[in-house]
Amino acid sequence: MRVGGHTSCVALAHDGGPWSLVLDVGTGVRRLTDHLDGNAFVGTMLLSHLHWDHVQGLPFFAAGDRDDSRVRVLIPDQDGAAASDVLARAMSPPHFPIGPDGLRGDWCFESLTPGTHEVEGFTVEAAEVPHKGGRTFGFRISDESGSIAYVPDHHPDPEPGPELARVLAGVDLLVHNAQFVAAEQAVADAYGHSIVDDALRIATSCGARTLALFHHAPARTDDAVEAIGRDAAAGGASVIVAREEEIVEIGRAGVQVVRRN
């Protein structure tokens, strides 16, 4: 009730602009419609990987599924396969009533490779991250105001590879997988996720100004999630617990959390 229970979705906007870049389209994307003031979505969806909890909101995004929307969807390249065909493997009959081509509006589906890209006025740097069961990217997104790194699912190596280390270096806000705690290490390993201690270690090693604990365990209570956040911050690190519909401003004043009324 407090932290929120939708699956992964983070929306970005330039100062004073509309929400134009969406990171993953879990069920949380349904909430974005309420923040668009009745307007259609015009922008890009950037997917870290294709597991269900990161794509299952795609056909339920009302602001995207309308005649006046313009939506570009970028997925990690799957050995050259057409992005729309890849998405249709999970979203098409008999698994779902329509395929990606059944969404209303102007939609395009493209593949993304590691490296630097310009997307919706943001500089996006994509790097491979270890995660079980499919190609997975972590992203650094920046503009003149600051930078955010988004690594929602990650089974980290002892030291990040050079490309991922470069993408994370000195980022203002690191949004990182924190589904498991140390006592659950075996489960984290089995599913290809990190533990909270990993997120803290990575945030420290890359020099992130603030760490947002993200991708909470579905069965964790609000009280337990908030206790994890307090424990993580006890050593002096700047740590926040990601909460549904919370707005975070990044700028010269640093990282500031803005509560939505």
The domains of the chain are located at 10-258
CA–CA dist 10, 21 (Å, integer): 8
Instruction: Please choose, from the candidates 119, 108, 136, the residue with its C-alpha nearest in 3D space to the C-alpha of residue 100.
Output: 108
First to last CA, the chain: 15
- Banded pLDDT at 254 (limits 50, 70, 90): confident
User: Mind listing the pLDDT tens digit for each residue in 166-185?
Assistant: 999 999 999 999 999 999 99
pLDDT at 258 over 50: yes
Which pTM was predicted? 0.95
CATH class of 10-258: alpha beta
- Banded pLDDT at 261 (limits 50, 70, 90): very low
Contact present, 196 and 203 (Cβ < 8 Å): no
